[in-house]
Amino acid sequence: MKRFVCMVVLIFMAWGCAHYPKNSELSVYDITSGYRFDNLSASTDMDRLFIILTFSGGGTRAAALSYGVLETLRATRFEWQGTERSLLEEVDVISSVSGGSFTAAYYGLFQELIFKKFEKQFLYRDIEGELKSMVMNPGNWPILMSPDYSRTDLASDFYNRELFDKKRFDELIRVGQRPMIVINATDMSIGTSFSFVQSQFDPICSDLASVQIARAVTASSCFPVAFAPMTLNNYAGTCQFQEPLWVGSATKDMVLNPPRYARARALESYTDGVNRPYLHLLDGGVSDNIGLRGPLTSIRSTDPGLSVLRRINKGSIDHLVVIIVDAKTKQDSDMDKSPAPPGLEKVLFKISTVPLDNYSFDTVQALQAEFKNWKKDSANYENCKAILQGSCPDADMPFPSPKGLRFYPIYVGFDRIADSEKRRYFQNIDTSFHLPDKQVTDLRNIAKTLLEDSDEFQELKTLLNAK
């Protein structure tokens, strides 16, 4: 009996020492290596059509809506240089958060196989029930007692086995094909997006290649309270990292360009390995619930490694398509029918979702405003040119015209559903990782309808003579 008791105690102690898998150190900083957009090749030379997808948060609801968009793009066919292709093959970037990250990561890893396996492995599966069973399983309690292992790590291990075949980012590097999958979490300390790309890992001197895809997806979906934050080790100062040139000037732009200043300060904070030896990541929806902030910055600025604006200025992009897949809910509430204050559960839900929805709306508006400003600049240039030539026919404009660019901002969200009852049905679908089969199918179908009903999408199809 003594031996048995000792053996049990030793097992519990060993399990109690369970630890999250540490991200590896980067031996030497190299701006040309790792998971970066410039290291990924396009499937064709059709780079003049640049397509960005953004997948929002929202559990299985978001994953199913995103999957429906992928299905529709795959079914939209056109001919290029004598070969029939799909619009899905022309996607260059997918930026995702939370529930949408499951679809994005799965497609990034397995490409066409997503249409054979993802429905059974994830969409029509009770993921939430399986995770709860794991937490309630007494066999897992010892490892959950470890201060360095949490329910988040348990979920990550589950996704690693069941969904992503234990693949790491080195698999995406090895394949070397677009689209680039940008999985976004939130840095809990400074409240900004944290993206699983090598340029984000450079300041902390860490090698993204060794990180499991499941870890990134889990970090992206670590909803506060339900899951503990995910931890990364910060090795700053060990790999000879050099700050990008734009950071020095941006730190002086607090008044002239506050967003750029904030991005520079955030990057600098990662180089302080003494005061920030660890990073704690939460659900990506906390900082950006539609995954659009990163792409918006790349359209506005030449600072990021993945800068769409830099490619536009070089004349390599003629048509820019941004498809925003937003599974935002607007669930019915009866709290205003009673004088009693809402309970803690309702308060937590509201404070964690309402600001995100408002912030997401502002981001979409900012993207549309950016596109309008681009059109306005082109129109102003032509007006000035007409005035100049009217007064002095032989004169030339003192600067070149803005790059002629055609924008296709496409919003796939429940707010676009015209029928009020139908819109209400989708807006009240639960935020969880288990939905009835009918709701999953309905989400896939409404994604196709919303995408096809978009005027901009129809314009794009006309341009390509797509069916």
**Omega before 179 cis (within 30°)?**
yes
Q: What pTM was estimated for this model as a whole? A: 0.88
Higher model confidence: residue 12 or residue 198?
198
Q: Which two tokens stand for residue 217?
A: 């997806």
Q: What is the model's pLDDT at position 35?
A: 97
391, pLDDT greater than 90: no
Structural contact between residues 109 and 171, judged by C-beta atoms closer than 8 angstroms? yes
- pLDDT tens digits along 288-299: 889 999 999 999
Q: Which two tokens stand for residue 461?
A: 């199809």
Q: What is the model's pLDDT at position 401?
A: 66
Q: What stretches of 392-466 show up as alpha helix (H) in DSSP?
A: 420-427, 437-452, 455-464
- pLDDT tens digits along 135-176: 888 887 777 777 777 788 889 999 999 999 999 999 999 999
Q: Which two tokens stand for residue 236?
A: 């700053």
Least confidently predicted of 282-296, 316-330, 389-403: 389-403
Q: Which two tokens stand for residue 335?
A: 């709290």
Structural contact between residues 61 and 247, judged by C-beta atoms closer than 8 angstroms? no
Structural contact between residues 368 and 407, judged by C-beta atoms closer than 8 angstroms? no
Count Cβ atoms within 10 A of the Cβ of residue 10 and give its class: 0-12 exposed, 13-18 middle, 19 or more buried: exposed
Closest by CA position to 122, among listed 133, 106, 134: 106
Rg, C-alpha atoms of the chain: 24
Identity of the amino acid at 58? G
Closest by CA position to 353, among listed 56, 11, 36: 56
Rounded-to-integer distance, Cα 182 and Cα 193, Å: 11
Closest by CA position to 402, among listed 377, 383, 371: 377
- pLDDT tens digits along 35-46: 999 999 887 766
- pLDDT tens digits along 79-129: 987 889 999 999 999 999 999 999 999 999 999 999 999 999 999 999 999
